[in-house]
Structure 1
Amino acid sequence: MVTLTINGEDHELDVPEQMPLLWALRDVVKLTGTKFGCGMAQCGACTVHLDGEAVRSCVTPVAQAQGRAITTLEAIGDDPTGASV
């Protein structure tokens, strides 16, 4: 069992720790704003923030995200900059 803090909420997930964060977000938590693009951390479609730092979720294992604040596209609409985008 893995606990991830996503957009300020804790989620307990029954996923392997080596699973890419992208698939945990999309397939398990059902937050589909983060997209699959190239799968090689080149295009940026899968970018999320971990503790405010941009990372490519397609190559970031779930284990690396434990204990850190994950911010996805779904959460940025709550601030003035995100709302304008």
Structure 2
Amino acid sequence: MSASRPIRTCVGCRRTDERSALRRYVRTDRGLVLDEAGGAPGRGVWVHPDRRCWDGALRGGFARALRAPVRPDEIDRPPFE
């Protein structure tokens, strides 16, 4: 029997994937920041490091997942730079 791997849903495309294939963003008092270490506290959202997924997340995926409005100027940086 193999160990199960964590599965997460991309907020941009809504496809599921392994945790290692996505990047996590966390809402903080500074806005929505990339959680590169993967252990920051708080509500997190996951997105593929792909421009199409990023665009989908900006169009409503972040706000839907966080259940709160998200302004583009409060988001850290794209995961594909």
TM-score by length of 2: 0.28
TM-score by length of 1: 0.27
